[in-house]
Structure 1
Amino acid sequence: MNYLTNEKLVIVGAGGMIGSNMVQTALTLGLTPNICLYDIYEPGVHGVFDEMEQCAFPGANLSYTVDPAEAFTGAKYIISSGGAPRKEGMTREDLLKGNCKIAADFGENIKKYCPDVKHVVVIFNPADVTALTALIHSGLKPNQLTSLAALDSTRLQQALAHEFGVQQDKVTGAHTYGGHGEQMAVFASQVKVDGKPLSEMGLSAERWEEIKHHTVQGGSNIIKLRGRSSFQSPAYNAVKMIEAAMGGEKFTLPAGCYVNDEKLGFKNVMMAMPTTIDATGVHYSEPTGTPEEMASLQASYEHLCKMREEIISLDIVPAVADWKKDNANL
């Protein structure tokens, strides 16, 4: 089997449903044979390791551990789903305190054991703030760490494909920006359905609001249907992000990235933007939309700032003015 690279990929939280799916997806797509499965729960990660070996992927060189030093040392790529899962009735923001403490430890492990890691993807919720926490503690450059945001856009794409009875990839430009939470900004102005602008498709304002609501509540809907939070779709999108960072197919769906841009007025947050991930890292461009869409994005940014201030007040990260003491790249 031909692999994209032989460099070490670490899957954090590999004993869970998202983590185990990421391991299988990375091997199926032929990213790298050298994958370390890391989790704090030994029976779970041991079981996933056994199952993956029993898949008999040609050339796979798997390992598993509950020791962060063993897991992170020598890592060139990392995907972390190592936080508490969202349960029915919870918002992504409800996970803030506990998961940001986990993210701080995660960032410190990167700084201590693999400071030369090439790219890190953080996907445990609230992903914008856990990723920001990890970035501050890791010492990495902003273009080296991203968070999962594409899932909101693919949910919007799915809803519009069903609405108009077209294949899902015929819906383009269906993107959400800002936060990966209840305050996400859902953009319609760039959407095309089989090449035709959404504005010409006869979609009523009322129906659009229903589609937006369904998009925002997409994760909650999965919990209601399956009795647990999403795992296959976040796993796939996260692996595609790291594939792009390895030099594979570019990832062009929105990704959460660090933004500190005086011109745009967005400062010191992780947020979903129009992005491209490639072997040089993540690069963002300025979002374009109607005045209403841009106002929605501004509101989402302000919500992210409030969550940032909350983790500062909890002493999980220092005040913004002191970030450079932990990470000289910020």
Structure 2
Amino acid sequence: MKSGFFTERPLVVIGATGRLSSELVFYSLLQRFSPRLVLCGGSMERLQGLKDEIEESGFGEIDIRITLSMEEAVAEGGYLLYAKSVQSGAKTREAMLLSNAPFAVECGQAIASVRSKVERVVCVSNPSDLMGLTLLVHSGLEPERVMSLSSLDTERFRRSLSRRLGVSVTEMSQVFTLGSHDGAMAPMLDMARVKGASLGQLGIGPEEETEIVREVKYAGISIYKLRGQTAYQSPAVHVLRMLMATDDMPFVIPTARYHHSQRYPYTFGSLPTCIDSSGCHHLSVECTERELVALNGAFASIENMKQQLIEAGYLPEPCEWQSRLQQREELVELI
């Protein structure tokens, strides 16, 4: 392996000149992820500016290619960050759904012809779970190799508990936020443990639980108000960890990926997972009835937007997916 890089396969960034993507590129170079970068965007001028800045940062001999074509970008496969989105307009998940979907379809179709060369794909284009699903279906990749960012929600749940209880996040277990990456997300209040104790045993009652859920759901807005800008550095850090996860250093924070079970068929959402050398895999989980109600609401939000994509022609009917996906059937039933 060249000079101690994590991989010699290229890091391909679709939507490279966005703030999160640009941050990811520099973090990847600091961590010696790959000596090969493929940067794809909508403006050759901005891509050239990014390339120039990388070259003047002193990372040594880095092979950097820039292109406006998704097909050219993914031609050699490798590790892919997908962050392509509209540059202006409405910012809610629902409003971005149909505007961003054509890009996800295009990228998925570009990947389809070279899918054997693709190691894994991480999607951050909003709504990330639905864009991840769209990209997956059109690419035909194994579900284990396509995932979207949702781990920030779990980290925000942990932060809320840490500050309220005055404990380290290392003293917590099963503190998860699952389902959708929106206002319907489901912090798992009953399974959470702090020093082995439940939230109820620690004196957290219904009113405080409601406040915790509110903090978690609106943490992104809070950061925007505090910093005057959307969070982009923390998601870039999480994306890089997801891309670099191995058997020796797995990423075990809940991640969104394709899920198909009797309870939640043909969907894409956040559940307990482990990303290792071969991709993102489901882990089993047991929920209380209260948690299932919350999770049902989260997956209902995803289902509603999935149906919009189908009606608009950006996704085929689920009955067609099986023939497209290189799938090992994973039925993970939630209790």
TM over 0.5: yes
- Secondary structure, in 3 states, of the residue corresponding to 1:198? coil
- 1:29 and 1:328, CA in 2 relative to 1: closer, same or farther beyond 3 A? closer
- AA partner of residue 67 (structure 1): S
Query: CA–CA distance in 2 between the matches of 1:71 and 1:127?
Result: 20
Alignment of 1:124-203 (within 5 A): 124-194=125-195, 196-203=197-204
Residue of structure 2 in register with 1:9 after alignment: 11
> Are the equivalent residues in 2 in contact too, given 1:15–1:46 (CA < 8 A)?
no
Residue of structure 1 in register with 2:220 after alignment: 219
Q: CA deviation at 1:228?
A: 3.5
Q: CA deviation at 1:241?
A: 0.6
- 1:314 and 1:215, CA in 2 relative to 1: closer, same or farther beyond 3 A? same
Residue 80 (str. 1) matches residue 78 (str. 2): no
- 1:221 and 1:207, CA in 2 relative to 1: closer, same or farther beyond 3 A? same
- 1:158 and 1:85, CA in 2 relative to 1: closer, same or farther beyond 3 A? farther
Residue of structure 2 in register with 1:287 after alignment: 285
Query: CA–CA distance in 2 between the matches of 1:109 and 1:5?
Result: 22
- AA partner of residue 80 (structure 1): Y
Query: CA–CA distance in 1 between the matches of 2:92 and 2:274?
Result: 28
Query: CA–CA distance in 2 between the matches of 1:86 and 1:159?
Result: 32
Residue of structure 2 in register with 1:42 after alignment: 44
Alignment of 1:1-330 (within 5 A): 2-84=4-86, 90-194=91-195, 196-244=197-245, 249-262=249-262, 265-324=263-322, 326-327=324-325, 329=327
User: In the TM superposition, what whole-angstrom CA distance separates every residue of 1:72-96 from its partner, at most 9, and x where no partner exists?
Assistant: 1112210111123798x84322211
User: In the TM superposition, what whole-angstrom CA distance separates every residue of 1:219-239 from its partner, at most 9, and x where no partner exists?
Assistant: 222333334432111111111
Query: CA–CA distance in 1 between the matches of 2:31 and 2:326?
Result: 35
> Are the equivalent residues in 2 in contact too, given 1:177–1:184 (CA < 8 A)?
yes
Q: CA deviation at 1:129?
A: 0.6
- Secondary structure, in 3 states, of the residue corresponding to 1:98? helix
User: In the TM superposition, what whole-angstrom CA distance separates every residue of 1:43-67 from its partner, at most 9, and x where no partner exists?
Assistant: 2222222222222124533332223
For structure 1, which segment, 235-244 or 172-181, has the greater mean C-alpha deviation from structure 2 after superposition?
Answer: 172-181
Q: CA deviation at 1:326?
A: 4.3
> Are the equivalent residues in 2 in contact too, given 1:128–1:270 (CA < 8 A)?
yes
Runs of 4+ with deviation above 6 angstroms: none
> Are the equivalent residues in 2 in contact too, given 1:150–1:237 (CA < 8 A)?
yes
- AA partner of residue 198 (structure 1): L
For structure 1, which segment, 37-46 or 151-160, has the greater mean C-alpha deviation from structure 2 after superposition?
Answer: 37-46
Query: CA–CA distance in 1 between the matches of 2:229 and 2:94?
Result: 17
- 1:58 and 1:196, CA in 2 relative to 1: closer, same or farther beyond 3 A? farther
Query: CA–CA distance in 1 between the matches of 2:326 and 2:65?
Result: 33
- AA partner of residue 82 (structure 1): K
Query: CA–CA distance in 1 between the matches of 2:116 and 2:99?
Result: 24
- 1:228 and 1:100, CA in 2 relative to 1: closer, same or farther beyond 3 A? farther
Query: CA–CA distance in 1 between the matches of 2:191 and 2:50?
Result: 41
Q: CA deviation at 1:113?
A: 4.5
Query: CA–CA distance in 2 between the matches of 1:142 and 1:96?
Result: 21
- Over aligned residue pairs, what C-alpha RMSD do you find? 2.2
- 1:194 and 1:86, CA in 2 relative to 1: closer, same or farther beyond 3 A? farther
> Are the equivalent residues in 2 in contact too, given 1:150–1:254 (CA < 8 A)?
yes
- AA partner of residue 256 (structure 1): A
Query: CA–CA distance in 1 between the matches of 2:69 and 2:22?
Result: 18
For structure 1, which segment, 74-83 or 107-116, has the greater mean C-alpha deviation from structure 2 after superposition?
Answer: 107-116
Q: TM-score, normalised by structure 2?
A: 0.90
Unaligned ranges ≥5, structure 1: none
- AA partner of residue 70 (structure 1): E
- Secondary structure, in 3 states, of the residue corresponding to 1:21? helix
> Are the equivalent residues in 2 in contact too, given 1:33–1:61 (CA < 8 A)?
yes
* Matched pairs, number: 326
User: In the TM superposition, what whole-angstrom CA distance separates every residue of 1:228-260 from its partner, at most 9, and x where no partner exists?
Assistant: 432111111111111116x66211000111111
Query: CA–CA distance in 1 between the matches of 2:213 and 2:158?
Result: 11
For structure 1, which segment, 49-58 or 177-186, has the greater mean C-alpha deviation from structure 2 after superposition?
Answer: 49-58
- Secondary structure, in 3 states, of the residue corresponding to 1:128? helix
> Are the equivalent residues in 1 in contact too, given 2:160–2:212 (CA < 8 A)?
yes
Unaligned ranges ≥5, structure 2: 330-335
- 1:222 and 1:72, CA in 2 relative to 1: closer, same or farther beyond 3 A? same
- 1:61 and 1:328, CA in 2 relative to 1: closer, same or farther beyond 3 A? closer
For structure 1, which segment, 223-232 or 6-15, has the greater mean C-alpha deviation from structure 2 after superposition?
Answer: 223-232
- 1:93 and 1:223, CA in 2 relative to 1: closer, same or farther beyond 3 A? farther
Q: CA deviation at 1:71?
A: 1.4
The alignment-based identity, stated in percent, is 28
